[in-house]
Structure 1
Amino acid sequence: MNPQFLERWSPRSFTSEEIPEDTLMSLIEAARWAPSGSNNQPWRFIIARTPEQRAAFHSFIAPANVAWCEKAPVLLLLISNTITPRGTLNPSHAFDAGTAWGYLALEANNQGLVTHAMGGFDPDKAREVLQIPADYALHAVIAIGHQGPKVALSEQLQEREVPSGRRPVSELIMQGKFE
């Protein structure tokens, strides 16, 4: 197995070092190539890079998450269009957006960056603040940047600043039917 799958994790400590535009776009380019149902590519990214844009994001991110993500130089909201180009409901929009997030996260790791996706945000407030139309689903806010030192976090967060374990494969698969 390629080591990129084992090396990628979601730290909470970030430095405020800016991410060059071409590097950030390489992450988006990787996500662009993710597969999607009927090649609809329903995912979109709303990016916050300036202090003002990040402050707008902080207004809808849970305070416990702002405490650690406020140093990240890039915040990104992953959304997906729930309607296909033909005007019908897209049953795979969330699945497709998740695949794009995975590609983005792996490319960030390849570029020496770290990412941390968070579900702790107020989607209604985000929709209002960022003027997102009703036919888009909001999935996650993603912090992107260079990994910071563990000691920059609160004691409580320092305890959690380690890669998470994984379930054994035997717990993930079932043979022929649900067991």
Structure 2
Amino acid sequence: MINRRKFSRLLFLFTLPIMMGHAPWGQWQVYRMRHMLFLSVQEDEDSYPFSKEIIEALSHSLPEARARPARAKDFRRVHSLLSTDQMPLVVLSKNIALSLLSGTGVFNNYSPVNMSLVFHFGKMLLLARPSMPDSHTWRLTDALIRSGKFSNKINDTEIPVHNGSNIRFMNLPMPGEAIHEKDDI
């Protein structure tokens, strides 16, 4: 007969492989889907504090976005998260944003990343991946304008403006959500 001590050890040994196989990354995906994350980077000293200003403005004008800051430790990580579409939004200073788009400067060891301008804050920029739906960037741009904390003009920039933001800046109605219909086969 097996005593309690042996039984506990055997139970632990059998469940150890199962416990080691658990990874929290699935929950991170859920978190990303439930919250609007604004990526910033430690090496760009102004990006994180400014992302918190954006989040503060959105907490009043677009609370359903559940905006949160996300800070990468270096430019390599920023490039990785953006180029693989893991993060759709980033807050960067203008010079660093231009480096990201062209693959020069602090990003000279990396390929250029295709990004679109959502909002121009002067020396800081909010960029999005072009794959971000127009209705999302329209809502985001509209909320930033309605917050009254930022001027609502696009300064002359060489970065292409995201279509949803451009529609909002022209005071046009929000574009419709993309509807995916199932094909009848």
Q: TM-score range by the shorter chain?
A: under 0.3
Q: Which has the higher contact order (CA 8 A, sep 6+)?
A: 1
Name the one with the larger helix percent. Answer: 2
Select the structure of larger CA radius of gyration. Answer: 2
| TM-score normalised over the length of structure 1 | 0.27
| TM-score normalised over the length of structure 2 | 0.27
